[in-house]
Amino acid sequence: MAPNGDLMGAAEDLADQFLRGTKRYLPHLAHLCLISTFLEDGIRMWFQWNEQRDYINMSWGSGTVLATLFVLLNMSGQLVGCVLVLARRFVPYACFGLFGIIFMQTVAYSILWDLKFLMRNLALGGGLLLLLAESRSEGKSMFAGVPTMDDISPRQYMQLGGRLLLVLMFMTLLHFELSAFTIFQDIFGMAFIILVAIGFKTKLAALTLVLWLFVINLVQNAFWNIPTYRPLHDFLKYDFFQTMSVIGGLLLVVALGPGGVSMDEHKKKW
């Protein structure tokens, strides 16, 4: 049997080969997964226009005109923001626009008083911050003339912030149920997300978690198998796209690397 070190080295080599073969497409796939929740919600509003308008009108007594304007702004803001992110045009402005959508929905749908959905909205904000950090890290000119210490630039601290925000995003997926598989699933996932957060074996840990979440998502959140009239359909669909957003964040970490503020980087200096 091969030593653990050899197995770990072989796994890291496999992760590097995967990255070399997909480096052109990985960031685009990561962006699509990250904003998939907004994209799905925007499309859903298009098909549920009347229901959304009536809900806002009944909840706030705003009248049909204001309720229609709210739904229009909500829908178009999400769709336009997603298109800009995917096209990699005006990404910071798109992110700030989507931040505004999150705030609007938190107030309009009374999410502020529902801890579970509030945490999920905060997690979506974390995904946007990760995109914002990436767009800032690409714009090197914004850091021109900024002094650095030990070759660590402000953009590398933003990469660290993005990795830490992934922990918040992942925590929204935990189930905390008293079953053997669920407990294993939560512990397994938390172990790998902590490795990603501290930047230790980052690419391997992130890719392993991506594969794990992808399989679990297809099995546990198969909303397409549930009739649309059942509430479980919408619940599973929400969980499915929330998981896809976490997968997108992990893929973005794989594409960008852990950055200078990480254990992987410090190991090179040792």
C-alpha dist (Å) from residue 77 to 69, 73, 227: 12, 6, 29
Q: Could you tell me the pTM of the whole model?
A: 0.82
Q: Which domain holds residue 187?
A: 25-137+156-267
Residue numbers of the chain with a pLDDT score lower than 70: 1-5, 112, 137-156, 158-159, 258-270
- The residue assigned the tokens 């918040």 is 168
Domain for residue 64, yes or no? yes
Q: Which tens digits make up the pLDDT trace of 144-154?
A: 444 444 455 66
Domain for residue 72, yes or no? yes
Q: What angle do CA 180, 182, 188 make, to 5 degrees?
A: 100
Q: 70 is written with which tokens? A: 């709210």
- Total number of domains in the chain: 1
Domain for residue 14, yes or no? no
Domain for residue 3, yes or no? no
Domain for residue 148, yes or no? no
Domain for residue 199, yes or no? yes
- At 158 the pLDDT is 67
